[in-house]
Structure 1
Amino acid sequence: MITDLRSDTFTKPSPAMLEAMFKAEVGDDVFGEDPTVNKLEAMAADMFGMQAALFCASGTMGNQIAIKCHTQPGDEVICERLSHVYIYEGGGIAFNSSCQVSPIDGINGKITASQVQEAINPDAVYKANTSLVSIENTTNRGGGNCYEFADIESIKDTCLQNNLKLHLDGARIWNALVAKSETPKMYGEIFDSISVCLSKGLGAPVGSVLLGTTEFINRARRIRKVLGGGMRQAGYLAAAGIYALENNIATLAQDHLHARQIAAALEKKSFVHKIMPVETNILIFEVSAPYSAVSFTNVLAKFNILAMAVSPVQVRMVTHLDITDKMVDDLVKVIEQL
C-alpha cells in the first residue's frame, strides 16, 4: 500500500463518485447542451452568490482565462512571489495575456493591502498599466496558510480605490472555508473572479470552476474555446464535481487533523526545522543533516511513503481524502524511528 503525500491531486474517485459519473446525463457542452455541466456551473455560482460559472479542465486554465479577461497586453499583474499563477503555470501570464508580473515578497504566501498599494505603478507612459491583483487562498508554497478575511477586505478596498480587478486562485478555497468557518458567499461578495478546484481536496478526477459576472463568464467561455477547452460531453467529469461538492467538503477537517498529527511527530526530530504554520492540509518543513530534502523523501519511499522535495532543504506533504488514519499512524512511527 502506497501512502502518497506528494499532492492532493493524487486522489482517486470513490465507487460512489464513479457511479455518479457513469449515470451522468450528457450533451455537447460547446453548444451549451450538457445538462450535467450546466447543473455544476449553476450549483457553484449559487454557492458563492455569483452570477455565472464556467467548467474548466484545470485550475491553471481557470486562472489563465481570468487573467486574460481582466487585462490587456502590456499590463502588469500583482501577486505574491510564490503564487501558483506566477511560478507553476508555465509562464502563462506572459504567453496567454502578454502581461508582466510584479511579484511581492509576502509572509507564508500572503500579501497585504499596503504591499499592493506600494506595487501599483503610477499612471505614466513609461510604466506598465497595473490592472489586476491575484491572491491565493490557501497558499500552496505558503504551507496551506489562510488569509484573514479582514485582510482580504483591505486588499479589495485598495483595488477599488485604484480601479484594479481582484482575482482569487481558490484551488484550495474549500480548505480555507473549513479551517476559518467561513462561507463561499463571503468570497463571492469580494472578488471579481474566483477559480475553485474540484480535483484536489474534494477528490474529483478532473476540473475547476471559474466564477464571475454573466458578462465576465461570457468572455471567459470564448477564451476557453480559443485555448482548446471545449470538452463536448464533459458531463461525465462534471458529475464527479457535483458529487464532490455534495459529499466531500465535510472530509476536509479530517485532512487538516492528519496534517497536524504529522507535524507534531516532525517537531520532535532534531533534523527538522522551520515547519510552516499548519492550518490546513499542506505541511512544508526544512530538514538538515544527515538529510537533504531529496534524501529524506528517498528514505520515506523505502517505507512506501511518498513526499515531495520542493527545494534543496524543504519537503512538502499534502493530506487528502485517500489518506487514512492508519496511514498517518504508520508514517508517525516511521518518523519516530529516524
Structure 2
Amino acid sequence: MTGAQEPTQSARRAVIDLRSDTVTKPTAKMLQAMMSAEVGDDVWGDDPTVNALQDFAARLFGMEAGLFCPSGTMTNQIAIKVHTQPGDELLCADNAHIYLYEGGGIAFNSGVQPKLLPSNRGRITADQVVQAINMEDSHFPTTRLVCLENTANKGGGAYYSLDEIKAIAEVCRARGLRLHLDGARVFNAFVAAGYGPSDIGPLFDSISVCLSKGLGCPVGSVLLGPKDFIRRAHRIRKVLGGGMRQAGFLAAAGLYALRNNIERLRDDHARARRLGAALEGLPYVSFLAPVDTNIVIFSVAPGWDAKVLVEWFKARGVLLSTMAPGVLRLVTHLDVDDQDVDGVCEMLREAATAAAMCQEVEVAATTTTTTTTNGNGDCARLGDVVEAEAAEE
C-alpha cells in the first residue's frame, strides 16, 4: 500500500458502498482546502481558484487551456459540440459512456450520428478507425471525430497502452479527424499503465478529466484543449447552464486532489484485485472480468438471482451495482480501506454457503418446515435465503 489512508468524514462506516467511485466524500484536508478557498465570479472569469485549477490541469497534461465544468457528461458533450457540425459522424466503442450513459446527448446537443465500433473491453484500434471512416460522398455523413474512453467503464476498468493511443492519434492526424478523450478515470490508467498526463496530452485535441471519481472530489470535471477550442467551449458551457459563480470552493477540491490523491489510486487497484481473487471459483460466479484497475465485474451463474444477491449484500451493509441483467460490479475508491475489503471478501465467500440455510427454514406464516431446491436438487438460489431470513424477522 502507498501509506496510511486519510480518514474520511466517518471514522467507521455503517455501509460499505462499492456501487461506484462517484460516492466518495471529501476528506478533512480536502474540506479544509475548500473552506479556505479564495473565490470570485467564475462566469466573469474572476474566480482565482477556478483559474488556478484550469491552469494547473492544462500544464499537467501539456495542453494550452482548461475549462471547469460541473460534470464529465458536460465536458464530453461540450467537446463533441465544438468539434462537430450537425449531420457529422463520430466513432466510438460500442459500449462507450458517451453513447450509453449521457442521455442521448450526442444527438440531442449536437445532431451528430455515432458509429459504434466493436470493442475489446471498451477499447478500439487504429485499424478499426481506418476501416470506419466514411468516404467523401454526399450520401454519407462526414466522419469528423473519434472518442476514446480511458479507462473503460463497461470494460471493467480496462485501459489503453500508450502505443495504442499513439496509433489512433496518428490515423486521426493523417485523415483530418479530431480526437477526444473521455478521461473519467484517466488517472487510474496512468497509475496502472505507467505513462502520464504529459505523454497523452499532445495526442488529443481535447480531454475531459473527471475529478469526482477516484480523485475524491464532490463535483467537477475539467475540459482541456487549445485556447481557441476552450474559448468556443466556454460559450457552450454557458448555453448548457454550466456557468457557476463562486465555484472556487469546488475548484479547490480539484486542486487538492490533483496534488495529493493520484498515487493513492494504487491502493484502490490492489483492493480491487483482492476482491477479484475472493470471487474466483465461487459457485455464483460464471465469469469474472480481468481486474486491471479499480473495477470488478462478474456475471452471476445460472440458478442464482443477481437482484437477490444485491439485496443479500445490502442487508449486510454492502452496496453493489448492476451493470446489466445478471452482471454485477464492485468499485474500490477513497472511502474503502483494507478493513472494509477484509469484511467484503469474507462476505463474498459467505454468500456461496448461505444457500444451505434454506434447506430447512421456518416460514413465519406457517408451522411447516419446507425444503427448497433447484433443478440439481441443491438449495442454490440465494433468494430462498433472503426470503427465509425475512420470514424469521
Superposition pairs for residues 179-198 of structure 1, below 5 Å? 179-198=192-211
Shift of 1:293: 2.3
**Pick aligned residue for 2:171 from 158, 172, 175:** 158
Determine whether 1:320 maps to 2:333: yes
Gaps of 5+ in 1: none
SS at 1:24 equivalent: coil
Structure 1 contact 197–208 (Cα < 8 Å) conserved? yes
Shift of 1:73: 0.5
The match for 2:251 is: 238
SS at 2:299 equivalent: strand
Structure 1 contact 50–188 (Cα < 8 Å) conserved? yes
The match for 1:277 is: 290
Q: Distance in 2 between matches of 1:291 and 1:170?
A: 35
Q: Distance in 1 between matches of 2:182 and 2:42?
A: 24
Give deviations 1:197-225, integer Å, cap 9, x for gaps: 00000000000000000111001011101
SS at 2:278 equivalent: helix
Determine whether 1:254 maps to 2:250: no
Gaps of 5+ in 2: 1-13, 353-393
Shift of 1:192: 0.5
The match for 1:293 is: 306
Structure 1 contact 4–307 (Cα < 8 Å) conserved? yes
Shift of 1:289: 3.3
Q: Distance in 1 between matches of 2:199 and 2:305?
A: 42
Structure 1 contact 68–97 (Cα < 8 Å) conserved? yes
Q: Give the greater-gyration-radius structure (CA).
A: 2
Q: What amino acid does structure 2 have at the position aligned with 1:138? A: T
The match for 1:170 is: 183
Moved more, 74-83 or 274-283: 274-283
The match for 2:101 is: 88
Structure 1 contact 11–322 (Cα < 8 Å) conserved? yes
**Pick aligned residue for 1:137 from 142, 146, 150:** 150
Superposition pairs for residues 1-338 of structure 1, below 5 Å? 1-337=14-350, 338=352
Give the TM-score of the pair, scaled to structure 1.
Answer: 0.99
Determine what percentage of the aligned residue pairs are the same residue: 54
Shift of 1:274: 2.1
The match for 2:373 is: none
Q: Distance in 1 between matches of 2:142 and 2:50?
A: 36
SS at 1:249 equivalent: coil
Q: What amino acid does structure 2 have at the position aligned with 1:115? A: Q
SS at 2:224 equivalent: strand
Q: What amino acid does structure 2 have at the position aligned with 1:277? A: P
SS at 2:288 equivalent: coil
Structure 1 contact 22–236 (Cα < 8 Å) conserved? yes
Give the TM-score of the pair, scaled to structure 2.
Answer: 0.85
Q: What amino acid does structure 2 have at the position aligned with 1:110? A: R
Shift of 1:270: 2.4
Q: What amino acid does structure 2 have at the position aligned with 1:47? A: L
Structure 1 contact 132–167 (Cα < 8 Å) conserved? yes
Q: Distance in 2 between matches of 1:10 and 1:290?
A: 31
Q: Distance in 2 between matches of 1:172 and 1:136?
A: 8
Runs of 4+ residues deviating >4 angstroms: none
Give deviations 1:46-65, integer Å, cap 9, x for gaps: 10010000001000000000
Q: What amino acid does structure 2 have at the position aligned with 1:233? A: Q
Q: What amino acid does structure 2 have at the position aligned with 1:12? A: K
Shift of 1:118: 1.2
Give deviations 1:29-69, integer Å, cap 9, x for gaps: 01110000000000000100100000010000000000001
Give deviations 1:309-332, integer Å, cap 9, x for gaps: 111111011100100111100001
SS at 1:250 equivalent: coil
Q: Distance in 2 between matches of 1:331 and 1:210?
A: 36
Q: Which has the higher contact order (CA 8 A, sep 6+)?
A: 1
SS at 1:33 equivalent: coil
Aligned length: 338
SS at 2:244 equivalent: coil
SS at 1:127 equivalent: coil
